[in-house]
A and B are shown apart, each in its own frame.
Chain A
């Protein structure tokens, strides 16, 4: 359960997402809880099939058709999962915005960048002249150079990094308080990635924006997040302050992930890798979903689903034997 309900901008509590599957529904998110306090960055870490993107889509209300949800997504005290479609649309883009890995999929290829950003402003009743000025200002804030000229260009005339900046401008147009960023730098070159991360951090600091950064890349998350939530097979494996979790993991899965990240400036010995592939909702093992890959697994792990529990100050782990993992 979220431990500080009063202070959080967003509280995700026991979130469940079921997607229609072949024979029966697939539970892709299974009892996920965490908070995003105002103005902070929370990193949501996971591999494929972990449910991290579905969690973000449930928050912003963009789950695929046929999805069923349970639990709560409490936004400033209001449960969005039970809000009506009009209210959800109002929240989306204005209070909570989202950026994606592939900006081309989010941008309209047939419309000039400036018009796409301006459309959001115009829909909010900003007069035409004023909207034009604000578009240039938004592109400038997102680090698009020569924004007056670039506003008149089309998405295909933008490089990958510039498209990501255009999408950030689009996301900021409605003045949101929370930005959901799903793998925002995964498709980018390292030098561009570093610039986009710097941009996100500076926007966040200046505007007091909260951010939920969804990524498979521990290095990116370590770089920007204050708190992290590690997901595995639709459940939270571990959560806590980023530095502590990465330095002293309280779950064997987190420990293995950390060890598999090679250092750049020094040669690290090849990690002793985890066996097998990440569990997916379609083939989630009984008991602890991580047990077939876990070096610590024993009888109890095969039988009993571990509940997430506090294993230290602000440290939460869903491992029966978290105390053995924590050094």
Chain B
């Protein structure tokens, strides 16, 4: 299958002095990855590994020093320079659902803003019906439409973020620790929702997480990042049950399971 998202030899550094940027911190150091249509790639690693920076490059929020991001064979520039159809094709869901929504905006206006930004995706007929269908897709009652984001629970906020992303009919969802800040019982709901949506909405996903268990449940393939480099990549089952790289093994050794008392 041909690639939907193609990241090749991505390099990103921050800081540094002068034109040569001496002493710059290299966050991403030559990362290449591909995601085919409707596929979910899990990107795992510890803090500082560069996984979020990769996500931000894909979403067009960070400009790489070099390398390229391609989508369906077309180059993906920074978000501001992307043609609208590419901008809406890649949508992002962030870790903290509260800070990624304006607490004073109603849910209806959050979704309405997405439709205003990408008018081709706005419903031609009855907006209220379309809004309610979208909310029901993400497991929210219609009455939530008139509520302000600040009045909602963390899980509800994350559902609204997902609804906002879905409103513009994306093909790739970039989820950066999208379930990490949620309560355990709510995390299971959102994971389930994402798994259902990728099927019903035929979405590809770049799913970034530090939690190997979560990635194991949702990803088709997994890439392990360390210090700006992908050290191992492959089918989720292979990488997480028979890791080849010692760092993947170290991550697995450190990860806790429920059956661990007294060991």
Q: A residues within 8 Å of B by Cβ?
A: 47-48, 160, 189-191, 193-194, 216-220, 222-223, 225-226, 242-243, 246, 256-275, 277-278, 293
Contact = CB atoms under 8 A, between A and B. Distances in A.
A190 B184 contact: no
Given A194-B254, A216-B183, A274-B188, A222 B261 contact: yes
Interface of B: 46-47, 153-156, 183-189, 191-192, 195, 210-214, 216-218, 236-237, 240-241, 250-263
Contacts of A189: 46-47, 210
B27 to A, nearest CB: 16
A204 to B, nearest CB: 13
Contacts of A266: 216, 241
Given A265-B216, A270-B192, A277-B156, 12 more contacts: A48-B183, A190-B256, A194-B254, A223-B256, A223-B261, A264-B213, A267-B217, A268-B213, A270-B188, A271-B192, A275-B189, A277-B155
B139 to A, nearest CB: 9
Contact of B216 (A225, A267, A293): A267
A216 B154 CA distance: 15
A242 B261 contact: yes
Given A242-B261, A270-B217, A271-B192, A47 B254 contact: no
A220 B256 contact: yes
B259 to A, nearest CB: 7
A270 to B, nearest CB: 5
Nearest to A271: B188
Nearest to B259: A222
Nearest to A278: B183
Q: Which 4 A-B pairs have the closest CB atoms?
A: A262-B213, A260-B188, A273-B188, A219-B256
B70 to A, nearest CB: 30
B189 A273 contact: yes
A169 B210 CA distance: 28
A278 B216 contact: no
A271 B189 CA distance: 8
B185 A193 contact: no
